[in-house]
Amino acid sequence: MRVADIRTYHIDLNPASLRGSATAGQRGPFAAQAGALMVEIATDDGATGYGLGGGGLASALIIDRHLKQFVVGRDPKDVEKIWDELYAVTQIYGRRGLPVMAISGIDLALWDLVGKAAGKPVFRLVSQKPRTRFFAYATGGDFPLAVEQGFRGVKLSIPYGIKDGEKGFQENLRLVHEARRQIGPEVELMIDVYLKWDVDYTLRFARAARDAELYWIEEPIPVDDYEGMARLCREVTGARIVSGEHEFTRYGFRELVEHRASKILQPDISWAGGFSECLKIAALGAKHGIPTWPHQGGTPWGLHLIAALPMPAWAETWGPSVRPTDNELFQRLRPPAKGGEFVVSEKPGFGVDLDRTLLERYTIDRL
């Protein structure tokens, strides 16, 4: 089996129910990542593997004009060796951001092929004792509905930052307390700040919101401020300080770990380096007693990662009210949690139900 071709699709995964909302950052959940990218790898024996990357058309260009030549003709089972080579040839302009997002999509598509060739789900290729059932938490949407449907945790996106002054601070506080009122005392409440605060703001907010019993405060300050994150981890009591959505590869996560700058690691399997790299990130965290709870873990690829993690985790998914009927591709890539839990598919590969006709229908633009 050899790779015969690679095709890329800059796809629309922004559900209409989130367009223009505060949850979606005004432009949809993939806006900050320059769009979603599906990578399709075909082999000479007719098999096809699919991987979700990031970076949209920009990453597609990197694959088509540079990385493709290092993958075509290769055995997909050499997936980790291929990863190392792709990382090496992009170091001059990569190490983070778009090139790693492109590599992520390729890596996932290769693992999909490896699983299909073996007739096994990917998580069973790397774990002798996988966890095939685990809790889900709901990001955004109707929190009371999420609780009603069995979710053990919900995550609130925080809309206001330093520039919004005292009025914004108080509104953030009101939103947190209202969310706690809606979900009751037994459900975990997380908040996602999305890099809008600084250390002093975060310390003040953590004290003011202590009675809301936050489970975590996610990415409160700029990603590269490891010292600031380390201080927050030391001084904030109750709520965990967590990060990793915007971090890349084992090398970036090593900074988080060595600085003790995150209580939970949150790599995104479609952005941080794919399945190969996220397993290494999780192993690094586990060595230091730090669990890995992947960002957007509720995708088919993320669920297989969680099943194979060395430490248990919950899977993030959009709230049950955010399941649009107008985007079939979104629905295929966001399997619903049932009773607040996910059960991982036993289908070969990642169990992704895709074809070119569907991908073409949701392709935004092409090279």
**Residues involved in catalysis:** 295
Quote the tokens at residue 134: 């685990």
Q: How far apart are CA 193 and CA 180, in angstroms?
A: 17
Q: How far apart are CA 287 and CA 304, in angstroms?
A: 21
Quote the tokens at residue 328: 């079939």
Q: Which of 270, 321, 328, 276 is nearest to 298 (CA)?
A: 270
Crossing angle of helices 300-308 and 274-287, rounded to 10° = 30
SS (H, E, C) the chain: CCEEEEEEEEECCCCCCCCCCCCCCCCCCCHHHCCEEEEEEEECCCCEEEEEEECHHHHHHHHHHCHHHHCCCCCHHHHHHHHHHHHHHHCCCCCCCHHHHHHHHHHHHHHHHHHHHHCCEHHHHHCCCCCCEEEEEEECCCHHHHHHCCCCEEEEECCCCHHHHHHHHHHHHHHHHHHHHHHCCCCEEEEECCCCCCHHHHHHHHHHCHHHCEEEEECCCCCCCHHHHHHHHHHCCCCEEEECCCCCHHHHHHHHHHCCCCCCECCECCCCCHHHHHHHHHHHHHHCCCCECCECCCCHHHHHHHHHCCCCCCEEEECCCCCCCCCHHHHHHCCCCECCEEECCCCCECCCCCCHHHHHHCEEECC
